[in-house]
């Protein structure tokens, strides 16, 4: 199996991560650039990043759940495709809107299970 590594699409096209949510589980830091940190707490992080290839803005929403019994923490992340810095700033204040964003992918990492990725429910098919 060859996992997709990065978006390689030209500027203005649909970011590959939207079509291939598995990219949300990979080394996305390698092919994106951080634009602005919007929330920074020990177990919650929201950051605006941009795809180095196609230029898509992504609001990255990350949450960690500490597992006090086994030590394997769980985490989930949502990448919501946004059109501008202002849209990202507004969205970053609305957890419900992120969780049901129509153009978003998720990466779920259970501490004791198998990592999964996919389109956020309510999103385009
Ligand atoms: Zn892209």
- Say which residue the tokens 């992340």 belong to: 77
Q: Is beta strand 57-65 parallel, antiparallel or unpaired with respect to 44-51? A: antiparallel
Q: Is residue 3 a part of any domain in this protein?
A: no
In terms of pTM, does the model score above 0.95? no
pLDDT tens for each residue of 16-69 = 999 999 999 989 999 999 999 999 999 999 999 999 999 999 999 999 998 888
What is the total count of domains within the chain?
1
Rounded distance from Cα 72 to ligand 1 centre (Å): 31
Q: Is residue 5 a part of any domain in this protein?
A: no
Rounded distance from Cα 110 to ligand 1 centre (Å): 26
**pLDDT confidence bin for 5, thresholds 50/70/90:** confident
Q: Is residue 86 a part of any domain in this protein?
A: yes
Q: Whole-number mean pLDDT of the chain?
A: 92
Rounded distance from Cα 118 to ligand 1 centre (Å): 16
Domain coverage including residue 107: 16-119
Rounded distance from Cα 37 to ligand 1 centre (Å): 19
Q: Is residue 22 a part of any domain in this protein?
A: yes
**pLDDT confidence bin for 122, thresholds 50/70/90:** low
């Amino acid at each position: 199996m060859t996992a997709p590594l990065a978006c390689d699409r030209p500027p203005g096209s649909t970011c590959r991560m939207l079509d291939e949510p598995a990219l949300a589980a990979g080394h996305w830091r390698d092919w994106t650039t951080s634009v602005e940190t919007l929330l920074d707490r020990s177990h919650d992080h929201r950051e605006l990043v941009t795809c180095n290839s196609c230029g898509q803005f992504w609001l990255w929403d990350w949450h960690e759940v500490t597992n006090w019994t086994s030590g394997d923490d769980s985490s989930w992340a949502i990448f919501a495709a946004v059109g501008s810095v202002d849209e990202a700033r507004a969205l970053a204040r609305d957890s419900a809107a992120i969780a049901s964003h129509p153009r978003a992918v998720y990466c779920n990492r259970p501490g004791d299970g198998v990592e999964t990725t996919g389109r956020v429910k309510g999103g385009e098919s």
